[in-house]
Structure formats: structure tokens, C-alpha cells
Amino acid sequence: MRSFYRKRAALLKKIEEEKNMKKALALLLSMVMVLSLAACGGGGGGGKTSLNVIISQYGNYTQEWWNQFEKDFEAANDTVDLNIEIVSWNDIYSVVSTRIQSKQQPDILNISGFADYVADDLLMKAEDYTSPDVKSKIIPSFWESNAIDGTVWALPILASCRSLFCNMDLLSEAGITAPPTTWDEVLTACEAVKAKHGDSVVPWGLDISTDEGQAAFSYYSWNFGGGYLDASGNWALNSAENVKAVEYIKQLIDSGYCNSAPYTDTRYPLQDAFSAGTLAMMIGPMNMVSADSTVNYQSVNIPGKGVGLGVCDQLMVFKKDDVKDQDARTAAIRAFFDFFYNCERYSDYMVYEGFLPATSDSSDYLASNAEKHKVGGSDATGDSEYFKTFCAQLPTCQFYPMSMAKWMDVRNGVIEVEQQVCQGSISAQEALDNLQASITG
């Protein structure tokens, strides 16, 4: 028996060692990463200015476009050594915050949201590196949407617009001839689809998951007349309209009109279901229907007030105090943006990824020339009609209040509110009151 206990103790030790091995490996890996990064930062010598750029992965072929961009840019600017890294949306926030912690922040970053970086005084003002030409091209509302107290901190890289998608075949079979325009009509349409198609079709797609539940909050609250901010720009999360909106979401779930797991279903399986014809209606981005789908659909304004959700991601520039030649760095950054926002190159990227341009010259250009450019990863070309339609919708869109310092807390807060209320553990009024108190308190 004694030998058994000894063995047991030895085994426990072994367990502990194994655990530690894993930790050790993880640390080793991260050290290697940090070292190689440091090597990146130190490299590119020979009088060249090196710029590290992080770009978010918008599609499966993002890398290819930026590889070409890197080549073209370096050919045109031989004093700049450009390093472009594509990072997936799943990791980008943790990647960036890890780099900031180790003082290895990129020079240029493409991400969504910048207020936290401004709060830590990490960013350069957009005016300092934007050429007059680029500034004049950017659609004014986009330029201003990146301002905090009058100072612009980032440039818009692209835009997209969310609207209501309806499968017209499923609706007309259920006796609904036109897409719903009011929230009551949505309920009627859902009931009709449910009565006609039963379990085989989900009437209404809803995503209040951790991934993007704030989008749902925006669709409903804005179109019930509420929203995140009041007229004077202060948080107004517990307004009567917002309460109604959240109660409406609960009603959709309780009536059995939605997909069964709105708490964990992200937008992507819903989009797949819509493209496959098993989901009748959902709110989504303009490029949500898959290219090979045969569904006969219409994209219309979101019911109620008809306010769409505009999504506009940003490009921002980090300060780097340790760089000796600040002027050369700023010049390189300015050259980068001049090169990127070049009408044809920028338009090519918009067609490639299927998003809407944030510059006025590209909007005009794409309204008739989209066919000259290719969609990423295929031989298909752009569709001018598509750009014409959706660029026209953009002005009706509202954007997340991303320049507000507490936006990330509000974003996570409204998702929590939706989930709690729809679970029935708390009333909409109470949940929103709590959120408002915790944000403004």
C-alpha cells in the first residue's frame, strides 16, 4: 500500500508538471512572438521608414488584395517599408491590446471603435496626417462621425448598411403581398408564415447573442423612436421607446416567431438559413445573401421609422514617440492614405469586399463603373445598381455612438439587457434603468 501512495504522489506531481509544461509552452510561444515582433520593429533599416499596418479580415480573400497593395505601394514609395498584417475579427481586439501592453502597437490600425485609445492618449489627430485632397473626398458625415468634442481621431475605411430582407415567395404563399412597414405588420406577417409553413420555416431571424446583440438593440430601439443618446448627446438608455423596443423583442420570442436560440445564434447561420429559403425575414447587411442563393428576396427599410444601421469601421494612427524621424513617419502615413483613397484603387477594394465607399468620388464612380472591378475570390464583377441603391440608403442610416467613451460598456450592457429580459428574469424597464444607472452613475 505504501508504494501505492508513493506512486499516487508521484502521479500528482506528474499532473502538475504536465499542466506546467502547457503553461511553459504557451509562454515560450508568446515570447517567440514578442521577439519576432521586436525584430519586425527593428528591421527595415537602410534609411527606410517602416510602417506596420493591421487590417481586419473582411472576407476570405482580404490577404490577397493587401499583398498586391503592399507591392504597388512600395514600388511607388521606395523610402517606405510597409508591413501589412491581416487579423481576423475574432482576435483583433485581444491582439491589439496585447501589442499595446507590450508597447508594440501598429502604426496604422483598421478596427471598429477608437474612443478607448483616445482615452489613453494613444492616437494621432487625423488632421495631422490627412492630406487636404483625402479630407475633401471623405463624405462629411463620415468624417464627423469619428470626432470626439470636435477633434477627428480616425478615418472611415468602409461602410455598410443594414436593412430588412424578406423572402417574397414564402411571404406571398402565406398571403402577405408586400414587405411589412410597421412593427404590427411584422407580427401579422410572422403569424401568417407560421400558420402556413409550420416548423419548416422560421418567420423572423433574431440574433441577441454576445457576438452582435447590440445590432438588434439598435434596429429595434431606433425604429421605435428611441436609441442610445438623447438630443443633447447624453446616454438615454432607459427611455420609454427603448423599453417598448425591448418588450417587442421579447414578444417576438414568446410568440414563437424567432429562431429557437436567439441567445446563441449569430447572424451567420441565420444568413445561411435565409439564403437557403428556410427563414422568411431578417435584418442584415446588404451583402448577406450568399451568391449562389436562388431565393427571391426584397431588401427594404427596417419597419417603424425606417432607420437603417450603418456600420463604419475606421483606420487610425498610433503615436510612436520612440521613432526618431517623426516627420518622415508622418509623411509615410500621409502617402499611405493618399495611395489607399485613390479613387480607382479604393473603389476596387470596395467591389472586392462588397462594402460601400466612404468617399464621394468613389460613390459616384461605382454607381456606373462597378463592372470594371472584380469581387474577391471569384471572376464575378461588381454591380453598379447595387452600389447605386445602397449608397443612396446610407444617408438614412444611423451609426453606433462609438466616439462615446463608455460605448463598449453600453454595447455589452444592452446585450445583457436583451438576454435577461427575454429570459423573463427581469422587466425591460427595470433592466434598462439598471443599465442607465451603471453607465451614468
Partner 1 sequence: MKENAKPRTLNMRRLEPYVWLLPSILLMGVMILVPIISVFQTSFSEISKSGVNRGFNGVTNYLWVFQNATFWNTLLNTVIWTIVVVGLSTILGIILGLVLNEKFHGRKIVRAIVVFPWATALIIQSVIWKYIINADYGALNALLYKLGIIKSYVNWTATPGQFFAWECFVGILVTIPFVTFCVLSGLQSIDTSLYEAADVDGASFWDRLFKVTLPLLMPSLTVSTVLNIIYVFNSFPIIWTISKGDPADKTHTLVTYLYKLSFTNQRVGEAAAVSVIGFLILAACASVYMVMTLRAEKEEE
Binding stretches for partner 1 (CB under 8 A): 1-2, 4-9, 11-12, 15-17, 19-20, 23-24, 27-28, 93-94, 96-101, 116-117, 119-120, 122, 198-199, 202, 209-210, 259-261, 263-264, 269, 273, 278, 408, 412, 416, 419-420, 422-423, 425
Comparison of 153 and 387: residue with beta carbon closer to partner 1 = 153
Nearer to partner 1, 6 or 71 (CB): 6
Beta carbon of residue 170, minimum distance to partner 1 (angstroms, whole number): 15
Name the minimum Å distance from CB 17 to partner 1.
8
In whole angstroms, how close is the CB of 362 to partner 1 at the nearest point? 30
Name which of 258 and 288 has its Cβ closer to partner 1.
258
Q: Which is nearer to partner 1, 4 or 322 (CB)?
A: 4
CB of 425 to partner 1, least distance (A): 7
Which residue lies nearer to partner 1 by CB, 261 or 392? 261
Kindly state the smallest distance separating residue 209's Cβ from partner 1, in Å.
6
- Shortest distance, position 298 Cβ to partner 1, whole Å: 23
With helix as H, strand as E and coil as C, how does the chain read? CHHHHHHHHHHHHHHHHHHHHHHHHHHHHHHHHHHHHHHHHHCCCCCCEEEEEEEECCCCCHHHHHHHHHHHHHHHCCCEEEEEEEECCCCHHHHHHHHHHCCCCCCEEEECCCHHHHHCCCECCHHHCCCHHHHHHECHHHHHHCEECCEECCEEEEEEEEEEEEEHHHHHHCCCCCCCCCHHHHHHHHHHHHHHHHHHCEEEECCCCCCCHHHHHHHHHHHCCCCCECCCCCECCCCHHHHHHHHHHHHHHHCCCECCCCCCCCHHHHHHHHHHCCEEEEEEECCCCCCCCCCCEEEECCCCCCCEEEEEEEEEEECCCCCCCHHHHHHHHHHHHHHHCCHHHHHHHHHHHCCECCEHHHHHHHHHHHHHCECCCCCCECCHHHHHHHHHHHHHEEECCCCCCCHHHHHHHHHHHHHHHHHCCCCHHHHHHHHHHHHHC
Shortest distance (Å) from residue 98 CB to partner 1: 7
Between 64 and 211, whose beta carbon lies closer to partner 1?
A: 211
Nearer of residues 122 and 138 to partner 1, judged by Cβ: 122
